[in-house]
Amino acid sequence: MTDFVASADIVKEPGIGESSTPYAITYAANGDTWTILSGVTVASTNNAAIFSDFSNNRLTNHGTVNSGNNIGVQFRNGNNGVVSNATDAWIVGLQTGVWLGGTAGTTSNTLDNDGSVVGLRFYGVLFAFGGGGVFNNRGDTYGDEAGVQTSSSAPVTINNDGSIRSANLGVYASQSANVVITVDNGAKGIIKAPTAIKSGGQGSVDLDNLGSIVGNIELTTAGADHVRNQGTITGEARLGAGSDTFVFAGGKQGAVFGESGADHFEFATRLARKKDAGFVADFTTGEDVIGVSRSLFKKIGKEGPLKAKFFTAGNKATDEDDHFIYSDKKDALFYDKDGKGGAGQVLVAKLPDGADVKAGDLVVIA
């Protein structure tokens, strides 16, 4: 294990008679570390600027890493590597900014970004070769094809408190069966692209949004996707095949489509303002479920299927136990905390025309 410091520029170009450019920095052993100082440029004009095939390597960048025709930083086959990109630091690749590989099926490498990571043609960050890992983003990440792409047989966790941007896909999660890609978009986090989050492969996505997602969500896999929104989603959400869950937790979002499978639409934490109320754009009675939280809705009984006495169809409560009212005239579900009393109805969710919600479609959750 050796610690190296780049205190002056390292720039590699093809030599006479050479068709390719060597890497500017190549890791030589397990456990080696490199630190690039502020104001220093490490670049390769025709290859990855920094390359490793070893494990337990660490890169700390305070300067600029640039590949003129390839990948900025490539940790290809090793495990347990860490790339740290400091505030005001840059990692840029014509193809991809940072490539994190690793052994298939392992949770292997970590990227901490407080600066800027850019993939001009393809991906800002790519988890490849089946290896999983963690991406902690507090800076700016951009990839023309995808801000972050996962192609993995191991879990990947994306913790975003910065910005992830793309001209096409913000986060593209393509993973093996039973593999979960976790996206935690914090209160300051922004994910922005025409399709902000998209899934492929056979696994599932677990998304918790407290910040801003600008663009559509398209989860097309057969896995059990889980989305919880306390922030803002400027676009529609499509959950695809499988038994998926969307938790309306007081945020604002466009239409939510459960699509095929027995889906759960849950209302917890707090209700959104009337104009921002959740719109469940497709609902199949007897198959899909509306979950209502005991911590949010009072006097609705124990956890489990809602008792029929707490539900009515029509325009208003008819007795003191009618706490949930489905109006086919308004295509909406309402809550009345005191039934036929002095309190008014509160809009819970907007529903598609002809949803025909029954008491048996509601389940009381914690």
| pLDDT for the residue 90 | 99
| pLDDT for the residue 202 | 85
d(CA 346, CA 217): 28
| pLDDT for the residue 175 | 85
Residues in the chain with pLDDT < 50?
A: none
Confidence (pTM): 0.95
Q: Are 309 and 315 in contact (CB under 8 A)?
A: no
pLDDT in tens, 209-256: 999 999 999 998 888 999 999 999 999 999 999 999 999 999 999 999
| pLDDT for the residue 206 | 98
**How far lies 122's CA from each of 75, 167, 170, in Å?**
17, 10, 12
| pLDDT for the residue 15 | 58
d(CA 64, CA 88): 9
pLDDT in tens, 82-141: 999 999 999 999 999 999 998 876 668 999 999 999 999 999 999 998 788 999 999 999
**How far lies 141's CA from each of 92, 95, 168, in Å?**
10, 14, 13
